[in-house]
Each structure stands twice: as structure tokens, then as C-alpha cells.
Structure 1
Amino acid sequence: MILIVNLNPSLDVIFYTEKFYKNKVNRSMKEYIMPGGKGINVAKTLKIFNEKMKVIGFCGGSTGIILKEELKRRDIDFNFIEVQNNTRFAIGIKDLSKKELTILNGAGSEIPESKIEEFFEIYRNNIKDADTLIVSGSIPPNTPYDIYFKILKEAERHYIIKVLDAKGKEFIEALKSKPDIIKPNKEEMEDVLNKTIKSKEDIKNAFKFIEKFQIKYPIISFGKKGAVISIDGKLYHSFLPPIDGIHWGAGDAFLAGFIYGLRRTNDPLYSLKIACATGYLKVKKEELNEDDKNEILKYVEKVTIKEIK
């Protein structure tokens, strides 16, 4: 089983507009509602690959009710701890005239210490049955920044694959737990380094920084420009021709594809191809479904991988 920790899930809404005007009343052409948060996005994609998984975290209020109903509708198993305040919103506005997507992520609500203790009880009960742990997304306001470190560190005794996809202080602290796989995007890695990544040398230096944490498969995603992975000290760049669409959640779909590939083949380069193809197809639609699996496998053969020297 894959255990997915998503402490700060969201209810995501995309509004489609012919043209978005600032400081004016806008009307959408259509709306799309879906369960969100990075961990849930990973879960939705793993579902199309028929992987067994469970999502744990916090949710509450009327938005939490809708979130759980949407997860049930997608047949995704979860065990959320109920909190008093509403689960956060994440709003996307797609301006079709400019082919732009603007995203506003809610912060979420503070979690009482007693609820965090309750989370760890649920975590310990579920980690025993897992062979892979994914810790992904933001943490609720005022949650201790070392919570991801503690979650990953506690998993060591179970000898499972540990995956981290986060940002900021919690990401830097959690690196010390030596996860097996990480996948920051370019902007998140730039925040860690406090430096812009522009050139090939910048990419190499970013991976040199990561190297000291002894991570087996570090990946940095570059959006439309693909992704770079380090395997045994060598860097590989994977990519497909860029397309317009809904890039929201594409990085999470990428990560799900990589995990699926690695679990099935234990081949990181082929898994990188699956990841790239999965993220690419996700850009074309709001959500992937089981009918998309064969389409993903078609795109796998079109992925280009080049070693960075």
C-alpha cells in the first residue's frame, strides 16, 4: 500500500473565462470542482494506475464535507482527522484569451496540538501496512516546521520507500531524514538555494547541494521544459514538446507516474519517461481517469531523455 500524507488538502475550483479583467466583475463560462492538495493530486493519478493507497491528513467544515464526497466519488481511500475550521479553497482562473492560468491558494487553518497528536496515532497505525510513503504539499499555519522530518524519520524502522515533495523550511528540515525521492520544482529549489537557476551550471550546482543529503533519486521539475533527475551522480533531462493547458497539478501527476514506474519496473530512467508522459497528459485536462492510462503509455515512447554533461 502507498500511504500519502496530505496535511493541508484543499477544495479546488477552476473558473474558465473568455477574458479576465482585473478590478472588474467577471463571469465564468464554466467551473470545475475537484479535491486538491499535492498529496491528493498524486493519489488521483495513482488511482488510474490501479495502485492501492490511502490519504491521511486534516479536513473540516463544509468544504471538508465536499472534499470527502469528491474523494469517495473517485474511489480514493482516506482517513482524515476532523477539525473545526473549514478545509481551504484553491482557486484557479483560466483566461482563454491569453492562455493564462492564475492560481490563488488558501492558507488553511491552524491545527490544535491535540489533533496533531491524533494524526500521529493514525499515521503509526497505517504506516505498518505501507511499502511506500509520500509526504507532499504545504503544512497548515503554525504547524511545527519539523513535522515532515518527524513523519519521515519515524518511517525508517519500516524500511519503505520515502518520497518528499514540499517547499520552504519544512522541506529543508525534512531533507535531513534522507528520503529516497524528492521532487521540488524550479521555483521551490531556487527558494532553497536563494539563487536563480538559469544555466546548465546552475542545475549542476543545485544537485550538488542535494547530494549531501544522500537522496537516491532527486528530481527537479522545470514545468514546460521537463525535468532533471540525478542517478548515480549522472544528470538526465527528460522532456516533451510544450503545450498549453491546465498546468495546475501536472507536477503531482509527474511524481505519481514516477512512483508507479519505479514500483513496477525498478528502472529510474524508464520511470522518468512515464512521469514525463503522465504530467504531459495532465496538462491537457483538469483530471486524468482510468481511460488515460493507455494514452500515457503512448506518450512514453515520445519522451526524449538526454544526459547533461
Structure 2
Amino acid sequence: MNSATHSALWPTQPAVLVTGATGFIGSALVKQLVQEGKSVIAYSRNAHRARSALGAGVWVTQQLGDIPAGTHIDAVVHLAGATVLGQPWTHARRELLVRSRTSITQELIALMQRLQQRPRVLVAASAVGFYGVPAGNAPLDERAAPEPGRFQSDLCVAIEREAQRAEALGVRVVCTRFGIVLGTGGGAYPGLATASRFGLGAQLGDGNQPVPWIHLQDAVGLIDFAITNEQLRGPVNAVAPDLRKQSEFAKEMAQSLHRRALLRVPRWALRLGMGEMSELLVDGQWVVPAAAQAAGYRFQFASLREGLDNLAQARS
């Protein structure tokens, strides 16, 4: 199905528009929404790949401008953006990381402005990097402040600021601040599991830094919850309640695969090799899912042991 503008080619029922629909979280979300019987429109730069990956039951467009004004989009989920952990944070890379997220948000708001019926809600992916690298071990709920001048914080602030512009259109906005999302189909888990299986599980630095994490099923579950729960708005820490130090996380990961984590990688080596980006590994945030729990969300995998055991079984 191409992205022609003829309204007959678009869903006649209320739909959920998803950007980043072929990504790690996006593909799992689309699968869940389809299973729930919802109509889904996927926005993808590679329409052929999206149609192949998502199946014939999902509408795919390469241009948001191709969506007719009469299309009833009930909810928008914005997950698209360049990968933060990977290439060095050069000036050009930083600009790309910001632009890859905020420019699409601007396109989404332009779409909302011309739709005959505005969406009820925009769920935009942010991250726990919003809080920067705070000192101390005090729990951080959604009221905690960002850290201006630190890139990971400035990036998340820019993402959320653009998303919040939709509120002026009468759209409820939820910004999900994700920790590390663990799933077998992508993200950090496959690499960590492979390293642990070969006895290469390691403590990073002193190992005391927190590792905010969430199982993929709960990442998808929280997005779905945010779409349907009219009382939920603003920032939502998308992390499991069982927050651990990195040394404990590495130990639990290894144990779930019947191995031991014996190695240590010094902080200076990571700083030398990764520069400022090493903050994602050797620093962390003691984040708690206060808003999600207050709204009544029940985690499928609230404990790290349960989550890792589930993933280890799925992997094998």
C-alpha cells in the first residue's frame, strides 16, 4: 500500500500514529496495538522495509503531509530518533541527535494543526538522561530538575519542550523518560547477554552507579497505559521499581545465564575510549517510577531477577 493521499486508502476507524515504528520499541508496540485490534499508521523513512516488517494490516507513510486531514488519529506515539549510544558525541553528532527527534515533533504538530479532529494524546519518548548526573543517592521522581549544560540533559529537555507545544492544541502530552530497555530483539540486552555468556560480564568503574532499567514488555505497556489513561500527563519515569547498582546488575545478568561476572573495567578506560558519552555507563540516576505507580500502572516485571530470567528463557 503506497502513501497516496486518497482517503479510501487510510483507516476509517480511529488510529494510532507511531513514528520509529520499525525500531526496537516501536515494532513491539505496533505488534501489541494490532493484537488489541487497533488501527495503526506507521511513519517510516523506509516504507518498503516498514511494510515488510510490520505486515499488511499496518498503514505506512513516508510523509506525514500525505495523511489526509480527515483521517481520525486518536493518539500519536513519537519514538523516532538517532541512537544516542554509539558514535562519539561530536558537535555534528549532537546536532543530529537533537534534530532527528525535534524536527519530527515539529512535523507531527503541523499534522495535528491541519487534522479536522485533533488527537487526544501525544506520547513522546524521552530518557532518564533528563536528570543529567545528579550528585548523591536521593530518589528522583518526575519533579526533579534537569542539569543545564550537560548534553544528555539538554537533549531530553529539547525533546520534551517540543512535545509540550502540542498542549496548546488541546492535546494531552506524556513524555516517557526511559531507562535502559531490556528485550531480546534489540537494545542493550543482546550484547550484555552475549558478553555474560562468554564470561565477560563486568563491573564498570566502581560499580556503584545506578542502572535504571525496564523490561520491553513494560516499556510497551506503559506507552499503551499512557494512551488510554486520561489522568496521566507530563513526564513519566519509564523505569522498573527495582533499581540496582551497576555491580549488582552485572551480577544478576550473569547469574540469569548461569555465569559469574568477574571482570572490572576502570572508569578512566571508559572515559578515555568514549569521552563524555561514557556518562551513560559510569554515571546514572536513582530514578523511581512515581507517576506511573501513582496512576495505577502495574509492572509485569517489577524485579530485576524476574525480568532477566524471563529474557534468558526467551533467548534460549
Give the alignment's TM-score, normalised by structure 2: 0.40
Give the alignment's TM-score, normalised by structure 1: 0.41
The structure whose residues are more often strand, as a share, is 1
